[in-house]
Structure 1
Amino acid sequence: MSMLDRRDAAALIAVEMTQYRAARRDGDHPAAWNAIGRAHIVAQPFFALHLSAHWHMLGFAIALRDGREVAGQLLRLALVPLGSLTGRLPVGNTGRARISAFRPMPVPPDLAKMISPHDKPVSR
């Protein structure tokens, strides 16, 4: 797999966020969570992009009045700097509150073709 730099990651995230916004607008909450979770997977190695993914998840959780998800996203926003500093980020984790913040998960095959879960970012 090829190394994904920040610019390429941001472009891939933009595609997922477009799908997220369309699903959210259409009221398709499962599809919206799926798209933003995929954006999170790509964003994880990049501090600002990772933080942004959780910020968007928090906003969606607030809009849905999902208290459990709101609390989980607040915790994850606090954990992002620690994970970035230590390099301990669970590969493939979709970032939802219903999943442990420390649990690695399989990277969807189409994303795995574009990113390597073991790559370190080349720029921030």
Structure 2
Amino acid sequence: MKFNIAIPTALKAHYYKEIESYRIALKEQNWSTAWQHLERSHIIGQSYPFEHSYSHWLMLIFGFKQKDFKEVAGQLIRLLVGGWKSFIDHVPVGNTGGSNVPPLKKMEIPADLKFILNQHN
């Protein structure tokens, strides 16, 4: 069994680029773009406990800001289980992390993110 603890440094840069893009879009009140960057951060970080949990934390906060209590409830559940599933490398690859998709559903990874993940895994 593989244990994931720390995200590779080069991959971490891509993860934090998505987080920064989320913050910029949030500041500009571009809600759909902000959410897309959170989904992308989730895809990049989902195999690593801290980054996976942090993406869900930001999704939870976003849900509160949008008064989307379905999202809030879904993120609370994901925060309880997401990190440890990352630690044991048992995540649904490509899942975007929002409450609008089943938590265990594997999804197609966008081509640019697939290229980045293949370079660093």
Aligned to 1:58: 60
Deviation at 1:86, TM superposition (A): 4.2
1:22 aligns with 2:24: yes
Aligned to 2:116: 114
Under a length normalisation based on structure 2, what TM-score does the superposition of the two structures give? 0.87
Deviation at 1:85, TM superposition (A): 4.6
Could you tell me how far apart the structure 2 residues matched to 1:85 and 1:22 are? 30
5 Å-filtered alignment, 1:1-124, equals: 5-116=7-118, 119=121
Higher helix share: 2
Could you tell me how far apart the structure 2 residues matched to 1:101 and 1:70 are? 14
Q: Which of structure 1's runs of 4+ aligned residues deviate more than 6 A?
A: none
Aligned residues: 113
* Residue type at the aligned position of 2:98: R
Deviation at 1:13, TM superposition (A): 1.0
Q: Which runs of 5+ in 2 are unaligned?
A: 1-6
Identity %: 33
Aligned to 1:122: none
- Are 1:20 and 1:33, in contact at CA under 8 Å, matched by a contact in 2? yes
Deviation at 1:82, TM superposition (A): 4.0
Deviation at 1:83, TM superposition (A): 1.6
Q: Which runs of 5+ in 1 are unaligned?
A: 120-124
- Are 1:90 and 1:103, in contact at CA under 8 Å, matched by a contact in 2? yes
